[in-house]
Amino acid sequence: MSWISKNEEHKNRDNWEFQFTVAEVMTGVTKKIDHHSTRQAWWENELEQAEAGLKDRGFEYRERRNSAGEELVVVGDPELANRVKECSKSIRRHTDRRQDYETWHRVLASQQAKKDTVFLPLKYGDIEYFGL
């Protein structure tokens, strides 16, 4: 049994810093971009199939624009309609995450161009975020 309580252990984890090179972080960022690109493509395919299912069965769907974006209105099978909505949400989520990592990729590439071996102090959350 450790003399450090569980709460203190987690508190320390949040304060510790770990040294990673720009190149190491760039590797993690590239993997995250690839992951979210692949997932986005998969969900786009699923969306095409769900939309085709709605059309094949004679159901109609319409996109309505409003101030918050676009809303999908479906007349027909609610299960397929939910699948279309799920696909759309997942595509947006993976697109947003891919764009976040692409921004990090640009930032890190500029640092890497200066010196590849510069160390970045990362905390636990950063390591988890970059997939290291």
Q: CA–CA distance from 28 to each of 11, 24, 35, 65, 96 (Å)?
A: 25, 7, 11, 37, 17
CB atoms within 10 A of CB 21: 16
Beta bridge partners of 61: 74
Q: 97-126, pLDDT tens digit by residue?
A: 999 999 989 988 888 887 777 788 888 888
Q: With CA atoms as reference, report the closest residue to 57 among 75, 39, 31.
A: 75
CA–CA gap between residue 123 and residue 129 (Å, rounded): 10
CA–CA gap between residue 29 and residue 109 (Å, rounded): 11
User: By the 8 A CB rule, do 122 and 71 touch?
Assistant: no
Q: String of b and e for 23-56 (b: at least 16 CB within 10 Å)?
A: ebbbbbbeebbeebbebbeebbebbeebbebbee
Radius of gyration of the chain (CA): 21
pLDDT one digit per residue (tens) for the chain, 132 residues = 455 555 555 666 777 888 888 888 888 999 999 999 999 999 898 888 888 877 776 566 677 777 777 777 766 667 777 888 888 899 899 999 999 999 989 988 888 887 777 788 888 888 888 888
Is 0.85 surpassed by the pTM of this model? no
